[in-house]
Every structure is written in structure tokens, then in C-alpha cells.
């Protein structure tokens, strides 16, 4: 009901409800109902569905755990204050969000996220803290800065500026940023693709952000429209720390099926293709590979999409980020930040 999607249960029967044929028909109907839920990329990740199908592994109250951890942090750093929890803001069931403020900058709003470390965590606790400290000190136009980060044995706590305008997906779907992600994204009524100039500018900036990370020895792996913030026509990547924290990518079920996606760069390029499709058509592709692209007034976009998402592309391999920047679609985009970009690290006093 929250999603605004019609998922009809099979009809009931008061008399004759023990007939073998009726029971078989009802079982088929229930199976169809469950299939449609578990095959929907957003509904299938929700806690309600996971708890129903696998109660043993999803019994923990993550909202309560997050609140306890955040409360402990605020006791040790009293300059921060929780304004409100932002419930169901993201799709991860082990990640919780809070709107907070710094008492020393009372007008600014910040987003605190608490997340369980994921199964792909590969750094030791000490190295993880060092890596996050590095990300906290980054200063570059296409990556959203982390203001603060802290890790424990099992979780991480991160603070970054809060964007009132929401994410690029909020802009595409024309929804209110603070509503539940299921309500916003499952069946958006007003979503539409962007204008060609926006597609070109945003796409080029996102590629520059990916190139910055790759040149610095990092990769993203979590590029999608909800992880992009747009402010004054400048796109910034959000949650760059996800790979370091070991949490799986939203698109992992899609790209693990494709043998040619076998490097970190090819994962980022595949995710970029997915996002470019959404920027163009107002919704993500139903499945990949994609061989039929609806007509759009800009053929240059379709040729880039084909180079990433078509069956041929998925068989022969992904283009590089550098090659995408050189395509006619993106090569002539004028960037405000035209100096040679590199990841700059600002170190505060005290070592």
C-alpha cells in the first residue's frame, strides 16, 4: 500500500474452500503474489518482506540499536544534537539516518548515518579508521564531504551536510526528499527524464568524480541516483565510504551475472550506464542487458547507453571512464571546475 502498487491476493471462498482444485488455484495465486514481491528490486529489500520470509535472520531491531549507538556518541561529543530520526529514508535495513545540528552552527543541518559494517569489509579496524579519516579530510568539487566519521567493531557513524533538495533521484521522480523511499520510488507518478544539457553536464561531472576516485586508488561501486546530490548544477557523489565499509552495492545482483564486469572500474561504468538510462528516461531499466532503447531526441545518449548496457557491450566489456569522457556526448561540456582535478586532503591541526 505504501508503494502505491497493485499486488492482488488470490480470491477467497467461503463455501468450498477446502476443494482440492480451489486450494491448488489459491496456491498458484499466492506464489504469483510472492514472486511479484520478491522480483521487485525495492520491495524485496524492505525489512517487512525479509522478516516475513526469514524471521530468524531479521529479528534485530536496527532502529533501536542505531539509537543506542548514536546516543553513546552524543554523550562523548555534546556539541551535536539530534533533531529528528529520518525513518525509512534509504533502502538498507541496517542503515539508519538522523537529522542533526551542531550547537556551534545552529542554522546548518547535517545528516548522521549509522550503518552496520558489511560482509565485504576487508580492512583491519585500524586501517578502516585511517581510510575514513582520509575521506573526512577530502576537498574536491564532485565528492560530498564527510564532516565526521567514527567506527566501532561492528558499525560506523558518519556525518555530512544535509541537502534539503534531496538526491538526483528525488529530482527525477519529483518527490519530497524526507518521505519513505518505498513511497517515493516504487511507483513515482510524475517522474521524467532530464533535459539534454542537464544529462551532458551531470554525466560529465559524475565521470569526473569517478575518475578522481580511480586516480586516487579508490573505487565507488555504489553509483546510483540516490547517491548523487545536485547543488547549483554541481553533482556530488555521496556515500563514497560504502566500499570501504564492506556493504554490498544495490546493483550487485545485476552486475554479478555479467562475466565481463570483473574489475572495479567496470562496476563503476556499469552503474554509470544504469544511472544515465534513468536520467534519460526518468526510471531505471527493468533489466540488463538492454537492447531496445525507447526513442529520445538525442541519439548521442543512446549510443553511450548501448556501449554499456547492450548485450554486445556486456559480452565484449565496458568502456573506460576516460573513454566515456571523450565521447561526443560529454567531451564538449564546459566545467566550472576546469583546473586539473585531484583529490586534495585537508589535514587539521594536531596531526
Q: Is the peptide bond before 88 cis (omega within 30 degrees of 0)?
A: no
Q: Give the CA angle between residues 273, 340, 308 to the nearest 5°.
A: 10
pLDDT in tens, 163-188: 989 999 999 999 998 889 999 999 88
pLDDT in tens, 151-164: 988 899 999 999 98
For the chain, the structural domain boundaries read 62-161, 168-326
Q: H-helix or E-strand containing 51? A: helix 47-53
d(Cα 134, Cα 345) in Å, to the nearest integer?
Answer: 7
Query: How much is the pLDDT for 140?
Result: 83
Whole-model pTM over 0.75: yes
Mean pLDDT for the stretch of residues 216-227? 93
| Model confidence band, residue 2 (pLDDT cutoffs 50, 70, 90) | confident
Q: Which CATH superfamily is domain 62-161 in?
A: Phosphorylase Kinase; domain 1 (3.30.200.20)
Q: Which fold has domain 168-326?
A: Transferase(Phosphotransferase); domain 1 (1.10.510)
Alpha-carbon distance values, 20 to 16, 26, 172, 227, 328 (Å):
9, 10, 49, 50, 63
For 92-124, give one letter per residue: b (16+ CB within 10 A) or e: bbbbbbbbbbbeeeeeeebbbbbbbbbeebebe
277 is written with which cell numbers? 538510462
- Picking from 213, 102, 236, the residue whose alpha carbon sits closest to that of residue 159 is 102
pLDDT in tens, 262-304: 899 999 999 999 999 999 999 999 889 998 998 887 888 999 9
Amino acid at each position: 500500500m505504501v508503494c502505491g502498487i497493485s499486488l492482488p491476493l488470490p480470491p477467497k471462498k467461503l463455501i468450498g474452500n477446502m476443494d482440492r482444485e480451489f486450494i491448488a488455484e489459491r496456491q498458484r495465486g499466492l506464489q504469483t503474489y510472492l514472486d511479484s514481491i520478491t522480483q521487485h528490486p525495492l520491495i524485496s529489500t524492505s525489512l517487512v518482506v525479509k522478516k516475513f520470509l526469514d524471521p530468524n535472520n531479521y529479528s534485530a531491531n536496527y532502529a533501536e540499536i542505531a539509537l543506542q549507538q548514536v546516543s553513546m556518541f552524543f554523550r562523548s561529543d555534546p556539541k551535536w544534537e539530534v533533531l529528528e530520526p529520518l525513518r525509512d529514508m534509504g533502502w538498507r535495513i541496517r542503515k539508519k539516518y538522523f537529522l542533526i545540528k551542531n550547537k556551534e552552527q545552529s542554522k546548518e543541518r547535517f545528516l548522521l548515518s549509522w550503518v552496520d559494517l558489511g560482509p565485504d569489509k576487508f580492512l583491519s579496524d585500524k586501517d578502516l579508521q585511517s581510510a575514513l579519516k582520509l575521506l573526512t579530510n577530502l576537498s574536491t568539487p564532485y565528492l560530498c564531504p564527510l564532516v565526521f566519521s567514527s567506527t566501532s567493531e561492528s558499525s560506523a557513524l558518519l556525518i555530512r551536510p544535509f541537502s534539503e533538495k534531496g538526491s538526483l533521484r528525488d529530482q527525477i521522480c519529483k518527490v519530497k526528499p524526507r518521505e519513505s523511499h518505498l513511497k517515493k520510488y516504487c511507483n513515482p507518478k510524475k517522474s521524467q527524464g532530464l533535459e539534454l544539457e542537464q544529462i551532458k553536464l551531470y554525466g560529465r561531472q559524475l565521470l569526473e568524480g569517478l575518475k578522481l576516485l580511480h586516480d586516487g586508488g579508490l573505487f565507488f561501486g555504489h553509483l546510483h541516483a540516490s547517491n548523487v546530490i545536485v547543488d547549483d548544477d554541481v553533482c556530488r557523489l555521496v556515500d563514497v565510504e560504502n566500499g570501504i565499509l564492506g556493504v554490498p552495492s544495490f546493483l550487485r545482483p545485476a552486475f554479478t551475472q555479467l562475466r565481463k564486469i570483473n574489475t572495479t572500474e567496470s562496476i563503476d561504468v556499469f552503474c554509470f550506464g544504469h544511472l544515465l538510462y534513468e536520467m534519460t528516461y526518468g526510471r531505471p531499466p527493468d533489466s540488463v542487458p538492454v537492447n531496445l532503447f525507447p526513442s529520445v531526441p538525442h541519439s548521442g545518449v543512446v549510443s553511450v547507453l548501448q556501449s554499456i548496457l547492450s548485450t554486445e557491450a556486456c559480452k565484449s566489456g565496458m568502456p573506460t571512464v576516460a573513454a566515456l569522457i571523450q565521447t561526443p556526448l560529454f567531451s564538449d561540456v564546459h566545467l566550472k571546475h576546469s583546473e586539473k582535478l585531484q583529490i586534495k586532503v585537508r589535514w587539521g591541526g594536531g596531526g
